[in-house]
Amino acid sequence: MSLSDWLLEKKNLQVPCSNYNDNKIKIPEGLWVKCEKCGLLMYYKALNRNFKVCPQCNHHFPTSSQERIEQVLDPNSWLSLNNNLTSTDPLGFKDQKLYGKRLQDMKVKTGLQDAVQTGLGLIGSKPVAIGIMDFRFMGGSMGSVVGEKLTRLIEIATTKLLPVIIICASGGARMQEGLLSLMQMAKISSALQKHHQAGLLYIPVLTSPTTGGVTASFAMLGDIIIAEPQALIAFAGRRVIEQTIKEDLPNNFQKSEYLFEHGFIDLIVPRTNLKQKLAQILSLHDNTLNM
C-alpha cells in the first residue's frame, strides 16, 4: 500500500466532527440550582441537605409538604390522617378549565389529594398534631377539604390533649368553591377556640406566601406565631392597599420582619432551625403543664 493510499484510508476512518459533538455527554437538567436572590450556583443535593435554604444569603426556596414532614418531624414518626378526602365540584365552576379537571391535574402533578397533609408525629420525641399546607396544589388554596382536614386534626388534638402545629403556605380561600371555602375560616377558628379552652398549645408557622383568608383566620390565631425569614404575609395585595389608602408603603411591607417589628408575629426562625425551636417550645410547654 502506498503512502497516499494509507493516508486516504486513515482519513476515511476518522469520525466526523458533527458526530463527535452529537455524542458529547449531556448534563441532565435540574442538577444545578441558581439562587434567585444572590445568584449562587448550587448542586441540588447540597441545597436539599440545607433544607432548601441558600447557604450564602439565607434565601428560602419553596418546598413541598412531604419535604417539610422530613425536615420537621422525627424520623419514621409520621402518621397520616384523613388522606382519602377529596374535593368535589359543587358549583360546576369553570374558568380557563373545569374545576374538576383542574383538581385531577393537580392530583397527578403533586401526588396529593388536596392542598394540605395532616397527621400525628413526634418533634424532639414530643407528640404533636400537625398540618402542612402545600402551595404546589392550586396555590395552597383553602377549599372545603383543606378546612375539613384541619378541623378534624384540631378536634383529634383536643381529644388526645396534643399541641397543634400548622405550617401555612396559601394564597387564601379557593374561589372555585365560593361560599363553601369562606365557611372554612369560621369552622377552623371554632375548633381552635375549643382547643384553646382546653389549655392546649397552638403554633402556626407562616411561610411564603401566607395570604388571604388563611391569614384572616387560623394563621394569626396562634399562642406563639412563628414565621420564616422574608416570608410574604398579608391579607390583601400591596397594590390594592396602596390604591385604597392613596399612600406609598414601605419596601418591606408585608414581610415577616415588618410584621415582627409591629407585633403581629412572635418569632422569625430560619427553616434550618425550625425543628430545634419547635422542640424547645414543646418541651417548655410540657414542663409548664407538669408543674
pLDDT of residue 24: 55
pLDDT of residue 7: 45
Rounded to an integer, the average pLDDT of 164-176 is: 96
Q: pLDDT band at residue 175, thresholds of 50, 70 and 90?
A: very high
- Given a cut of 90, whether residue 20 has pLDDT beyond it is no
Residue type, 116: V
pLDDT of residue 286: 82
- Given a cut of 60, whether residue 141 has pLDDT beyond it is yes
- Given a cut of 90, whether residue 14 has pLDDT beyond it is no
Question: Are the beta carbons of 133 and 116 closer than 8 angstroms?
Answer: yes
pLDDT of residue 79: 98
- Given a cut of 70, whether residue 1 has pLDDT beyond it is no
Q: Give the pairing of strands 226-227 and 267-268.
A: parallel
Binding residues for Zn(2+), as ranges, are: 35, 38, 54, 57
Binding residues, as ranges, are: 35, 38, 54, 57
* Backbone region of residue 139 per phi and psi (left: phi > 0; alpha: psi in -120 to 50; beta: other values): left
User: DSSP string of 200-237?
Assistant: --EEEEEEEEE-HHHHTTGGG--SS-EE-TT-BB-SS-
Residue type, 190: S
Rounded to an integer, the average pLDDT of 275-287 is: 93
Q: pLDDT band at residue 19, thresholds of 50, 70 and 90?
A: very low
Cis (ω within 30 of 0) for the bond into 90?
Answer: no
Residue type, 126: K
The C-alpha cell that represents 67 in the structure block? 419535604
d(CA 36, CA 31) in angstroms, rounded, equals: 16
Q: How many CB atoms lie within 10 A of CB 89?
A: 15
pLDDT of residue 84: 92
The C-alpha cell that represents 165 in the structure block? 402545629
d(CA 121, CA 69) in angstroms, rounded, equals: 9
Rg (CA), the chain: 25
- Given a cut of 90, whether residue 22 has pLDDT beyond it is no
Question: Are the beta carbons of 282 and 275 closer than 8 angstroms?
Answer: no
Rounded to an integer, the average pLDDT of 248-276 is: 96
Mean pLDDT of the chain: 91
pLDDT of residue 9: 56
- Given a cut of 90, whether residue 4 has pLDDT beyond it is no
Rounded to an integer, the average pLDDT of 39-59 is: 95
Please give the DSSP secondary-structure letter assigned to residue 57: T
pLDDT of residue 169: 98
**To which CATH superfamily is domain 62-289 assigned?**
2-enoyl-CoA Hydratase; Chain A, domain 1 (3.90.226.10)
Q: What is the percent of the chain with per-residue pLDDT over 90, rounded to a whole number?
A: 85
Question: Are the beta carbons of 147 and 133 closer than 8 angstroms?
Answer: no
Q: pLDDT band at residue 225, thresholds of 50, 70 and 90?
A: very high
Rounded to an integer, the average pLDDT of 94-110 is: 94
* Domain assignments of the chain as residue spans, ordered by start: 15-61, 62-289
d(CA 132, CA 114) in angstroms, rounded, equals: 11
Residue type, 240: V
User: DSSP string of 3-36?
Assistant: HHHHHHHHHHHSPPHHHHHHTSPPPPTTSEEE-T
